[in-house]
């Protein structure tokens, strides 16, 4: 990597951004749906602020657990303009990689939007981009689809687009599992669909417990009792997987 190379050589050009008047819950959705940690905020397409995933995830700790509609609760009390960092640092595509690295170092940030002469976001460069360029050469252009309010769309057929499956209802899931059980027990499962469903249901049960306790552990200020429960749940999940793969040291589950 040559420090004098323009930042346009390493920046990501397909950028997820959000309009400043969008609901806060939509910004949270962006971080959960796309593999990003920084979200430029624009007003009529022009850069006005910056959000980080760390900033928004902290909001979870201020939301009541009993709130039926957590998104509505949050949107009624917060706005993106209240949460975004401003003024926001930016670079032009002609700025050097050395300048980008120095700016991020001095400001203590991990990402800087790249804007054109009209202050429109044309890319974003992160500390990871600099490191990847140093180790492996320039990254592939583009990252993901764009958030609500964007004027552009992601490239068609992008193989890195994440697809989310809809969760079946309780009744649909019960029917599917009963069918899987029947196929497996009656040995009418030549493509192992039933076997796979039963295994995934078992695995999901253990991982759901780990997820629940991890969430409680973070919310409780890392309570010692919850930590012990979390470690026990992780151990149970590991033991279940050992038995499922035939790698258990004993032929029966340990309590």
Segment 160-182, tens digit of pLDDT = 555 667 888 888 888 888 898 88
Enclosing domain of residue 63? 7-136
pLDDT band at 92 (very low <50, low <70, confident <90, very high): very high
Single residue among 80, 113, 136 that ends a domain in this structure: 136
Q: Is residue 39 located within the same domain as residue 118?
A: yes
Higher pLDDT, 61 or 19: 19
Q: What is the pTM of this model?
A: 0.52
Q: Check whether residue 13 and residue 109 sit in a common domain.
A: yes
Looking at the structure, tell me whether residues 74 and 126 fall in a common domain.
yes
Sequence-separated (6 or more) residues with CB below 8 Å from residue 249 = 242
Are 75 and 184 within one domain?
no
Number of domains comprising the chain: 2
Q: In this structure, are 130 and 61 located in the same domain?
A: yes
Q: Based on the domain organization, do 131 and 193 belong to the same domain? A: no
| Cα gap 192→197, rounded to integer Å | 9
Residue 40: inside a domain, yes or no? yes
Say if 48 falls within a structural domain.
Answer: yes
Provide the pLDDT confidence category of residue 183 given band limits of 50, 70 and 90.
confident
How far apart, in Å, are the Cα atoms of 213 and each of 68, 209, 226, 241? 21, 6, 7, 19
The yes-or-no verdict on residue 152 having pLDDT over 90 is no
Does 188 lie in the same domain as 116? no
Between residues 185 and 248, which one has the greater pLDDT?
A: 185
Asked if the model's pLDDT at residue 91 lies above 90, the reply is yes
How far is CA 44 from its chain centroid?
Answer: 26
Per-residue pLDDT tens digits for 39-50: 999 998 899 999
**120 plus 217 within the same structural domain:** no
pLDDT greater at residue 103 or residue 68:
103
Statement to judge: residues 132 and 174 lie in one domain:
no
Residue 80 lies in a domain: yes
> Is 132 inside a domain boundary?
yes
Q: What is the mean pLDDT of residues 136-164?
A: 47
Could you tell me the CATH number of the domain that includes residue 58?
A: 3.10.580.10
For residue 149, give the nearest of 8, 2, 30, 66 by alpha carbon.
Answer: 30
Identify whether 163 is part of a domain: no
Indicate whether 143 belongs to any domain.
no
Please provide the average confidence, as pLDDT, over all residues in the chain. 79
Same domain, 55 and 110: yes
Which of the residue ranges 26-35, 51-60, 63-72 has the most confident prediction, judged by mean pLDDT? Answer: 26-35
Say if residue 98 is in the same domain as residue 184: no
Are residues 178 and 114 located together in one domain of the fold?
no
Q: pLDDT digit string (tens) for 15-34?
A: 889 999 999 888 888 887 88
Last residue of a domain, one of 117, 136, 155: 136
pLDDT at residue number 156: 41
Q: Does the residue 145 lie in any domain?
A: no
Q: Which of 114, 136, 158 corresponds to the end of one domain? A: 136
Is there a domain that residue 152 lies in?
A: no
Q: What is the pLDDT of residue 22?
A: 92
What pLDDT, on the 0 to 100 scale, is given for residue 169? 86
Which range, of 25-34, 99-108, 152-161, averages the lowest pLDDT?
A: 152-161
């Amino acid at each position: 990597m040559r420090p004098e190379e323009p930042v346009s050589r390493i920046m990501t050009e397909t950028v997820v951004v959000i309009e400043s008047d969008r609901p806060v819950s939509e910004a949270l959705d962006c971080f959960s749906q796309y593999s990003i940690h920084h979200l430029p905020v624009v007003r009529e397409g022009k850069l006005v602020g910056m959000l980080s995933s760390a900033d928004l995830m902290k909001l979870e700790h201020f939301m009541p657990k009993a709130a039926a509609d957590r998104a509505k609760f949050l949107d009624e009390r917060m706005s993106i303009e209240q949460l975004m960092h401003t003024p926001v640092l930016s670079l032009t595509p002609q700025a050097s990689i050395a300048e980008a690295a120095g700016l991020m170092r001095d400001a203590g940030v991990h990402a800087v939007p790249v804007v054109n002469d009209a202050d429109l976001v044309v890319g974003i460069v992160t500390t990871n981009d600099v490191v990847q360029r140093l180790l492996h050469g320039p990254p592939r252009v583009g990252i993901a689809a764009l958030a609500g309010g964007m004027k552009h769309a992601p490239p068609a057929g992008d193989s890195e687009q994440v697809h989310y499956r809809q969760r079946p209802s309780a009744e649909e899931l019960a029917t599917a599992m009963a069918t899987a059980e029947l196929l497996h027990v009656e040995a009418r499962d030549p493509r192992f669909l039933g076997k796979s469903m039963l295994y995934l249901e078992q695995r999901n049960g253990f991982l759901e417990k780990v997820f629940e306790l991890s969430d409680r552990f973070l919310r409780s200020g890392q309570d010692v009792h919850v930590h012990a429960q979390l470690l026990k749940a992780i151990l149970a999940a590991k033991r279940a997987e050992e038995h499922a793969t035939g790698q258990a040291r004993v032929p029966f589950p340990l309590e």
